[in-house]
Amino acid sequence: MTFSVETLRARFEELQAVAGTPSRLVLAFSGGLDSTVLLHALASLQGQHHIRLLAVHIDHGLQEDSANWSAHCKEAAQALGVDYLCKSVTVQLESGKGPEASARDARYGALHAELGLGDWLISAHHREDQAETLLLNLVRGSGPMGIAGIGAMRRFGPGWLARPLLETSREELLDYAERMGLKWLEDPTNVDRRFDRNFLRHDILPRLKSRWPDISARLLRSAGHAGEAAELLEDLADIDLEGLGGRPDRLPIDRLIELSQARQRNLLRYSLKKLGLSTPTAMQLSRVLEEVIPARHDAQPLVSWPGASVRRYRNGLYLLPENLVESPATIQVSSADVPLGPGLGTLQFVHDAPRGMAERFWQAEVQVRFRQGGEGFQPEGQSHTRKLKKLLQEEGVVPWMRDRLPLVYAGDELVAVGDLWIAAQAVAEPGIAIRWNERPALH
């Protein structure tokens, strides 16, 4: 089989059946063989079908020659009439994930930030990349999701991540590049066998191919079968999640333990993925099942790993980021929408609501503060002032959120606690309703 622009067009029609017509194509352009071929073929499609295309080069700052790489990529894109953008990133080499994974995280973070609604991020992964990924995940002891390898199409931020070359071999890409007279860069780290992927690429796959010449195609089929199994497991997890209330951030333990442990593990992995949190190892997941879920009702056990944590409070199992954000400093309220900080959402003041905080309090200096301890508060419907700490305990607010609740002050008077309560003396009809958008789990 020979790769061509027509091959790519047919593949794009298949992907559009899944995701619809893209608003724009954003190509992750390294300047290597694979992305250079894809850039050239996409530029032809852009000319024929008026597809908006942007080539984005990520400068990781890990190579002395990175500035020359960026210049090469810019020249290649401009020669084809393609818009070009270079973005520099800082790779967190001390993350503990290793240089490959850390660079990948930085790269995809920058690409994620570039996407708009309905955009497709295009990656040049090909059939051999899929084979390498499957073998790597087998060695790591991955389940069906890992063995499924690289997906051809998946949601990514406000758009999609598309990999139209997964059924194309590297030999086909090389043939296309030579026929078209393309020039590309060779990353010197691609031959460094200290990296697991390079070891597989240069030492293992060639030996497998000498015995089974079509090994990459065979592994691609296996990945497809595993992908189907993974989809079925996700369908089952979605059914289980709906049966437990539909909230991936809080699972009721009394109903969770009615599932088999295999379904509990499946549901936890699915819920973490749905929340955008990192997946635990098998050992970390076992700790959740053996230490957190069966803990005493009044205990507050915690299991965490890079990128996520699981806590229990009363009958709830809470799936959270690894590190909760610190309580922000005092926020001066100058508009109807008040961002509270990462992971805390936005406090919205809705004027002319049927019921809410009296307008006269809005005329004072309104601030959002956070608990310091010792606050007293009289919610609407209660006859006297009580300690806020006690009210939060009775309400069942999880301990780790009690110091992160936005407290609304008018001058020095506490008039509202998030969207939980308005002070008895501050209620009016009509009034200013307080809504806490994207509120983290409190109960």
pLDDT at 94: 58
Write the pLDDT tens digit of every residue in 297-336.
777 888 988 888 999 998 999 998 877 777 777 888 888 8
How would residue 171 be classed by pLDDT, with cut points 50, 70 and 90? very high
Q: What is the pLDDT of residues 54-90, one digit of tens each?
A: 999 988 766 667 788 889 999 999 999 999 999 887 7
Q: What is the mean pLDDT of residues 267-281?
A: 89
For the domain 244-320, what is the CATH code? 1.20.59.20
Q: How far is it, in rounded angstroms, from Cα 78 to Cα 83? A: 7
Mean pLDDT for all residues in the chain: 88
Do 244-320 and 5-217 fall under one CATH topology? no
Report whether 277 contacts 307 (CB < 8 A). yes
Q: Which of 120, 195, 212, 200 is nearest to 162 (CA)?
A: 120
| pTM > 0.75 | no
The domain segmentation of the chain, as residue ranges, is 5-217, 244-320, 331-437
Percent of the chain with pLDDT strictly greater than 90: 45
- As beta bridge partners, residue 155 has 160
Mean pLDDT throughout 116-123?
92
- Report the distance separating Cα 422 and Cα 407, nearest Å: 10
pLDDT number for residue 317: 94
Quick: pLDDT tens for 375-424. Answer: 899 898 888 899 999 999 888 888 888 888 899 999 889 999 999 999 99
CATH superfamily name and code, 5-217:
HUPs (3.40.50.620)
More reliable by pLDDT, 94 or 253? 253
